[in-house]
Chains A and B, each alone.
Chain A
Amino acid sequence: GQQVMQIPQYQHVQEGEDFTTYCNSSTTLSNIQWYKQRPGGHPVFLIQLVKSGEVKKQKRLTFQFGEAKKNSSLHITATQTTDVGTYFCAGQRLLWGGSNYKLTFGKGTLLTVNP
């Protein structure tokens, strides 16, 4: 079945340093979504990438979708303590013969920031 691998599993940075998490799918995706889960909270949608090679920015966050639509990355510039949490990618693909999509989550990257 489809697998979505995400690395690293953990990342600890000093405040002000950059952070990147990478996501790789075993199959070509229709789109990829990114979520953030604060400690003790629930996942919250950040963004969706659909087009091959797409790059989107949200303030200090930059999201990329690979040309082959099998990998993606999230880069945070100059981390802040408010960035702490687990970042999940979720790859979506259209199921064969239907109009249904299957969303598969990566295991997430836990980011901690030392002030």
Chain B
Amino acid sequence: DGGITQSPKYLFRKEGQNVTLSCEQNLNHDAMYWYRQDPGQGLRLIYYSQIVNDFQKGDIAEGYSVSREKKESFPLTVTSAQKNPTAFYLCASTNRTGEYEQYFGPGTRLTVT
């Protein structure tokens, strides 16, 4: 059963701590994406990767970092430099960068206090 998994579903952290969100896909997709969703703000692109060992900044990359060491995995680190980290984080993938539908994971809701 193919899909995208994100873990954990809920995550709580203290301010000043870095936290890494997991995203794994077994769809054999080349491209992967991280979005942030805030109430009434839609989905905003943080980072994306078209191929292993390569990634690009999206519209709101400040305070975040990523890696793409394996095709299946695209973890996102929310650093202490991110001023407003509390949000719903969604990972997505497509079988090619471009005009193809995006498959989303279930999301991780991060709360930083």
Contact = CB atoms under 8 A, between A and B. Distances in A.
Interface residues of B, number: 20
Given A88-B42, A101-B98, A108-B42, A42 B104 contact: yes
B97 A101 contact: yes
A9 B106 contact: no
Contacts of B102: 33, 35, 43, 45, 90, 103
A9 B40 contact: yes
B25 interface: no
Interface in A16-52: 30-31, 33, 35, 41-45, 48, 50
Nearest to A46: B101
A96 B106 CA distance: 32
A48 B99 contact: yes
A42 to B, nearest CB: 4
A43 B91 CA distance: 10
Interface residues of A, number: 25
A107 interface: yes
Q: Is the interface of B mostly helix, strand, loop or mixed?
A: loop
A79 interface: no
B90 A100 contact: no
B98 A99 contact: yes
A43 B90 contact: yes
A107 B101 contact: no
Given A99-B98, A101-B99, A43 B43 contact: yes
Interface of A: 1, 6, 9, 30-31, 33, 35, 41-45, 48, 50, 88, 90, 92, 99-101, 103, 105-108
Interface of B: 35, 40-45, 50, 59, 90, 97-99, 101-107
